[in-house]
Homo-oligomer: A and B are copies of this chain.
């Protein structure tokens, strides 16, 4: 495909107008002012459109689309114990497969090209991602409250098999990460064993860290005053390339450890507001030079995968929380939503509009009444754009979403099957 006469956000996140971008196979092979001689197939007229990197969702639990809007305005423990956990107890592989497809469709509609995704029944998630053409870093969240060895856990077996079968499958679209669910849901023994196993495997780590005050303070009580970051670091978990989700309550030395270990923090501003958890101190993370990416968390606590909306929340919550309207610039937000997310997933070849990089791109309609005048397009992208201004989403050079259509996903089947899942599960819970 050749995008012609289109505005782009280039690799420095600078705006360039009237550009031509040529895609060959899965790569960006031409960026310039003039139409190249090579035949790139379809010519896409970029008038009133912006071409930029797609979004990298750095923390999600995609199959939880089935629980969208299920149990709202409840205290956290009530929500988990009365709604989420009982519902999840009924999930089958088929439920997870179709729920993942639904989440992928929503992701593509809102410009997400790749998702760091922790859940279970992950082989069915892998299947859905492979078929859809989207990218994902999938991990089976491990939790163990008993004195077992790691190798005795079914979740360990699932993780290992998943890694062997799917890591780097789909031409590298799928990566399999290891995952400790969180400090408070496993023993130190399991944590240390998983850290060791992950290092040996050369895999990445995905873990929840300091999401709530209770978790953060509870950890100190449980582990000789250590914060979750310190505790996990001491057990070797952060020695592998790690995505730490939330980090709302990190403090003091935590910042230095995250920086030293090269951890990517996935901030989930909407979910953290919705569950009344708090606001991640992203400005302080930036001061320390820590890589910050953006996640949606699950739609059960969001309740959408509208990444432009997530960017707006990310761009605004720090201003109020830390009382400075200068905090978190649109450029920082756009970088967090794209390149930082790609790097956090171990995908150095994407997340940017650059020659030779993977064509994981989106086209936005920037001609709507919400998008002009343009004093600075970056400001408009973060603060003024609407999720559905995304009109095309491309992964590895293939169009996966375009103006309402999902060429790789049978949406009628997905709707039918997810509604059937809901009916069965809600019926069983009554």
Contact = CB atoms under 8 A, between A and B. Distances in A.
Interface string A12-26: 000000000000000
A13 to B, nearest CB: 15
A325 B109 contact: no
A380 B69 contact: yes
Q: How many copies does the complex hold?
A: 2
Given A75-B325, A306-B370, A383-B69, A272 B376 contact: no
Interface in A355-404: 368-370, 372-376, 379-380, 383-389
A272 B317 CA distance: 10
Given A303-B380, A330-B72, A386-B309, A411 B273 contact: no
A375 B69 contact: yes
A153 interface: no
B373 A305 contact: no
Interface in A19-76: 65-76
Contacts of A279: 320
A202 to B, nearest CB: 35
A401 to B, nearest CB: 10
Contacts of A65: 373
Contacts of A323: 276
Contacts of A385: 304
A379 B278 contact: no
Contacts of A147: none
A81 to B, nearest CB: 14
A383 B303 contact: yes
Given A304-B386, A387-B387, A276 B320 contact: yes
A372 B415 contact: yes
Contacts of A330: 72-73
Contacts of A372: 68, 102, 415, 418-419
Contacts of A275: 319, 325
B368 A109 contact: yes
A103 to B, nearest CB: 8
Which 6 pairs show the lowest CB-CB distances between chains A and B?
A69-B379, A388-B388, A303-B383, A106-B369, A105-B369, A70-B375
Interface of A: 65-76, 79, 102, 105-106, 109-110, 270, 272-279, 299, 302-306, 309, 312-313, 316-317, 319-320, 323-330, 368-370, 372-376, 379-380, 383-389, 411, 414-415, 418-419, 422, 426
20 contacts: A68-B375, A69-B376, A70-B376, A71-B375, A73-B326, A73-B329, A75-B324, A109-B369, A110-B386, A270-B312, A270-B316, A275-B325, A276-B324, A279-B320, A299-B384, A306-B370, A309-B386, A369-B411, A388-B388, A388-B389
